Structure 1
C-alpha cells in the first residue's frame, strides 16, 4: 500500500490530542527496528503538541526498542493494559494484576479444553514457564516448573504480581484456540492474542489495552474523538474500536481490517509515520 492509499480512506479532519499505537507489527518493522522516518514522525508529533502513547502486549522490560524516542511524553501501556510505565523515568506507575486464584482457574479449564496446552506466567519481575512451553531466550533467569507451582506461594515470586498468563498450543490454529478459550474457558480472565502462533494472552477480568487507555485518557480530559489509534492484531481491537479514528495496518489480521475505519501502509512501509506526516500537513 502506497502513501497515496493512506490518504484515500479515513482522513482526519482535525488534529488529535493523542496518538495511541501498538508496537509489534504496527510501529516496529518486522526486524523489530524503528525506522528513521518513524522516529522523525514521532518527534514531529510531540513538537506539535500531540501526545504519543505506546500501547503494547510487551512487558516493560522489552520497551528498549522505543525508550530512546519518547520525546516529551514517555507513556507506555504494557502487557495488554496490565501496567502503565513512564519510560522517561523507567518507572511503573500503575499495575492491574491477574489474581493467582483466577489464573489457576483459567489454567484448569484450558487443560480440560485443550489437552497439550502449556503455560507461562508473566510477572512484574520477569517471565517463568513450564518445561513444555517454548523457551524465552531473552529471559535466561526464568524459573521452569509446572504452572501450578509458578502460581503458588512456593514459587519464590509472590512479591511480583502476575501481569498475564500465557497459554501455548502446538496443534490448534491461533484463532481456533482463541475462540475455544473465549467460549469454554473459565471466565475469570480476558483472552486475546497477538502472536502468529497459537499463543493466548490472559489478563485480569476487565483489563485490556482499551480499558487502561480509556481510563488514562478520561483522567486527563481526553475524549475518544481526540484519539487516533493504530494496530494490527486481535489484542488491538478494543482500543481501535474505542478510538475516534482507527487505522489498520495493511498487514493486519482480517478481524482488525473489518473493525477499523481507515487503512494505512504496512509496518515495514512505515504506515504509522505516513499517517502522522499527512496529519501534520493537513490539519492546523
Structure 2
C-alpha cells in the first residue's frame, strides 16, 4: 500500500522549480512516463513552476521525456556535465567537461586499486569503450579501443569533449567499488553511481547534478529553498541535500533514504506526481484510484 504524502511534508510556500531525476524516479521501470505524471508535469508548468529533468542520462537518451518539458525546454544531463535544450533537437548548450589528463589520472589510480576495472568514455557525441566494458545496445556506433586512445585529443574533433568517464568492475559490489574508487582517486574527480551493477560515473572536479542545478537556478534568481527535488540513487544525493525540500522515492537506495526527511511513493506508483498534485492542490480526478 502506498503511503500518502502528509501535508506537513510539503513546503510552506509553492516552489518555483521542481528538479527530478528520471530512472527509478519519474520514469516507470519500463522507461515510460505515466499519463498521471504527464498531467502533473503539465499542471506544474501551467502554474508557473519550472520543471528540470536532472539525470545521469546523455542527451541522446532523452527522447523518453522530450515531449514533457514545456516553457524553457532545458534538462541537465550526464550528472551535471551537460545542459541540454530538448526543444532544439536535444542540443547540448553548456558543457562542464572532464579534462582528459584528469581522466587518465583516475584510470591509473583505479587500475592500481581495482585491477579488473574496464572503462568507457562519454563524449557529447556518444560513448566509446574498452573491449571488456559491457556494450551499450543503444550506441552501436561506439569506438572500441583502450581507454588511453579513447581519451586522446584526436577523438575530440569528431566526438566532442569528455562529459564523464565510466568504470565497470565484475568482482566488487557497487557500493564497495564506489568506496574503493573514492579512496584511491577521489582527489582527482567526482565519483558516483546510479546503476544496480558495479558501474561508476566519474565527472570533473565540482561537477554534479547539484552544482549544475545551482548554476541554472542562480541565473533565474531561484533560491535553494524555492526548489523541490526528487531522486532515488547516490548520484542524486548532492541535489537532494542542496534543494530546500527533497523527496526520496520509496524504492530509493539506503543512502538516499538516510539523507532525506521526506518520502513519496515509488516510481511505479507515480510518487513524483503524487507530490506535485498536493503541491498544487489538484482535484482528485487527476489521481489514479488507490494511490497517493
TM above 0.5: yes
Residue 46 of structure 1 corresponds to 45
> What is the Cα deviation at residue 11 of structure 1?
2.1
Structure 2 distance, partners of 1:184, 1:112, is 9
Structure 2 distance, partners of 1:152, 1:158, is 12
Structure 2 distance, partners of 1:158, 1:66, is 27
- For residues 184-219 of structure 1, the C-alpha deviation after alignment (integer angstroms, 9 at most, x for no partner) is 225221000000000000000010000000111112
Aligned partners of 2:123 and 2:159 also within 8 Å: no
Is residue 2:162 matched to residue 1:170? no
> What is the Cα deviation at residue 153 of structure 1?
3.2
Question: What SS is found at the alignment partner of 2:65?
Answer: helix
Residue 258 of structure 1 corresponds to 258
> What is the Cα deviation at residue 154 of structure 1?
4.5
Residue 285 of structure 2 corresponds to none
Aligned partners of 2:92 and 2:124 also within 8 Å: no
> What is the Cα deviation at residue 158 of structure 1?
6.3
Aligned partners of 1:189 and 1:206 also within 8 Å: yes
Structure 2 distance, partners of 1:217, 1:62, is 24
Residue 225 of structure 2 corresponds to 225
Query: TM-score when scaled to structure 2?
Result: 0.93
Aligned partners of 1:9 and 1:263 also within 8 Å: no
- For residues 145-201 of structure 1, the C-alpha deviation after alignment (integer angstroms, 9 at most, x for no partner) is 110111113447565100000000011000000011111225221000000000000
Please list every run of 5 or more consecutive structure 1 residues that lacks an aligned counterpart in the other structure: none
Aligned partners of 1:119 and 1:167 also within 8 Å: yes
Structure 2 distance, partners of 1:193, 1:157, is 28
Aligned-pair Cα RMSD in Å: 1.4
Runs (4+) of structure 1 moved beyond 3 Å? 153-159
Aligned partners of 2:124 and 2:159 also within 8 Å: no
Residue 114 of structure 1 corresponds to 114
Residue 196 of structure 1 corresponds to 196
Is residue 2:154 matched to residue 1:129? no
Residue 22 of structure 2 corresponds to 23
Structure 1 distance, partners of 2:275, 2:135, is 37
Structure 2 distance, partners of 1:169, 1:85, is 30
Structure 2 distance, partners of 1:27, 1:233, is 13
Question: What SS is found at the alignment partner of 1:248?
Answer: strand
Number of residue-to-residue matches in the alignment: 281
Question: What SS is found at the alignment partner of 1:68?
Answer: helix
Query: TM-score when scaled to structure 1?
Result: 0.96
Is residue 2:236 matched to residue 1:244? no
